[in-house]
């Protein structure tokens, strides 16, 4: 091994995380689920979701056979819902193209929806001990500091530097089980270093196994590496969110199959400046008994910020049911059990809390 890799492996075996539920086997399907869930999501958030997801979809065949609505329902709350769509599409691809046998080599894994170069290498390392570099956010932070790599990691030139460094530091491998295990331990060790030692704020350099030759530590640049993304003002969008209520139920509609929150349930939206009563009557064919505006809510996506202006709309009694595709009345418990975006879930809970206080 390289001296760097040897220190990382020794540290991981002595101090790294070894009791995470997805570490118990080399089942590529289960490893893949965990890796996709962990993309841009902390371990603590994933821990309660992972066993529930395995219970619901114990095999790739079960996941492929499930309707996407059920997958989104089990994913609800994890965020970045495009991952759930990719997860379902990849499962279908494995069943159709690989006869339900989940690939364990990075080259094949990278052909599946939602699996990039780093994720493919991580799955292959854990499932079969295949040698390959990974570059998730935690690993980039370790490399930026240890190797003194400047520049935003997302820039093409800087990204190339990271990949070359990641590949150069890998341990060697062979067909023997010991070397395959070293690859898995090194891969996990790099993730663990970034997550628990070389953290964004207050890194624990005194506990780091590679601190002795860390460029950022030696040059006093730990606080400035890795470089942050150049600031760019997020475009802003604003919508009115209609919280229609009737006899203790809420009107939810299914979002379109593409775009933000695709396939999830949400409250209907309307443009700013509408006359709420006229809009609700024209769109849903029901009259409005009362309306009250709630505090605005802003949710940041990767490429824009969405400001929602919720309005609580009580439908007049004895109104006809709304007969529209994808639109349905839910009681509060059923609504909260559906696949909802996080801001919409918070809105429903706030309504439920207000109703409980009023009662």
User: What pLDDT, in 10s, does the model give residues 52-109?
Assistant: 999 999 999 999 999 999 999 999 889 889 999 999 999 999 999 999 999 999 999 9
Superfamily of domain 3-224: Hypothetical protein; domain 2 (1.10.340.30)
d(C-alpha 107, C-alpha 157), whole Å: 23
The model's pTM is 0.84
- Bond preceding residue 226 cis, omega within 30 of 0: yes
Q: Identical fold at 3-224 and 236-358?
A: no
pLDDT value at 305 more than 80: yes
Q: Are 145 and 225 in contact (CB under 8 A)?
A: yes
pLDDT value at 317 more than 80: no
Q: Pick the catalytic residue: 35, 73, 130, 254?
A: 35
Mean pLDDT across the stretch 112-121?
A: 97
Q: Are 129 and 183 in contact (CB under 8 A)?
A: yes
Under CATH, to which class is 236-358 assigned? alpha beta
**Domain ranges across the chain:** 3-224, 236-358
In this structure, how many other beta carbons lie within 10 angstroms of the beta carbon of residue 58?
Answer: 12
Strands (E), the chain: 236-246, 249-254, 265-266, 269-270, 288-293, 297-300, 305-315, 327-331
Q: What is the pLDDT of residues 126-139, one digit of tens each?
A: 999 999 999 999 99
35 catalytic? Reply is yes
pLDDT value at 356 more than 60: no
Residue 324 pLDDT class (50, 70, 90 cuts): confident
Length of the chain: 359
- Cα dihedral 89, 35, 126, 174 in deg (nearest 10): 80
Mean pLDDT across the stretch 300-320?
A: 87
């Amino acid at each position: 091994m390289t001296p760097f890799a040897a220190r990382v492996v020794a540290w991981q075996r002595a101090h790294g995380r070894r009791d995470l539920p997805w570490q118990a086997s080399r089942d590529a399907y289960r490893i893949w689920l965990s890796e996709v869930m962990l993309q841009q999501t902390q371990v603590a958030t994933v821990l309660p979701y992972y066993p529930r997801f395995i219970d619901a979809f114990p095999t790739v065949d079960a996941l492929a056979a499930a309707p996407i609505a059920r997958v989104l329902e089990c994913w609800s709350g994890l965020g970045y819902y495009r991952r759930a769509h990719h997860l379902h599409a990849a499962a279908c691809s494995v069943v159709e193209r690989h006869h339900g046998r989940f690939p364990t080599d990075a080259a094949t894994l990278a052909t599946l929806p939602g699996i990039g170069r780093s994720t493919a290498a991580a799955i292959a390392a854990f499932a079969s001990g295949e040698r390959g570099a990974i570059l998730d956010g935690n690993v980039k932070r370790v490399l930026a500091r240890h190797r003194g790599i400047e520049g935003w990691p997302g820039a093409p030139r800087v990204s190339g530097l990271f990949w070359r460094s990641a590949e150069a530091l890998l341990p060697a491998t062979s067909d023997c089980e010991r070397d395959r295990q070293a690859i898995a331990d090194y891969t996990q060790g790099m993730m663990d270093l970034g997550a628990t030692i070389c953290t964004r704020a207050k890194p624990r350099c005194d506990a780091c196994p590679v601190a002795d030759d860390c460029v950022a530590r030696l040059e006093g640049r730990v606080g400035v590496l890795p470089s942050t993304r150049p600031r760019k003002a997020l475009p802003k969008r604003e919508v009115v969110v209609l919280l229609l209520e009737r006899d203790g139920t809420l009107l939810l509609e299914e979002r379109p199959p593409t775009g933000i929150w695709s396939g999830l349930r949400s409250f209907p939206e309307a443009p700013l400046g509408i006359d709420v009563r006229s809009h609700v009557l024209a769109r849903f064919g029901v009259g409005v008994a009362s309306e009250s505006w709630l505090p605005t809510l802003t949710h940041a996506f990767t490429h824009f910020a969405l400001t929602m202006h919720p309005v609580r709309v009580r439908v007049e009694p004895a109104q006809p049911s709304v007969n529209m595709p994808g639109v349905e009345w839910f009681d509060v418990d059923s609504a909260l059990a559906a696949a909802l975006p996080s801001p919409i879930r918070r809105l429903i809970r706030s309504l439920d809390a207000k109703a409980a206080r009023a009662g």
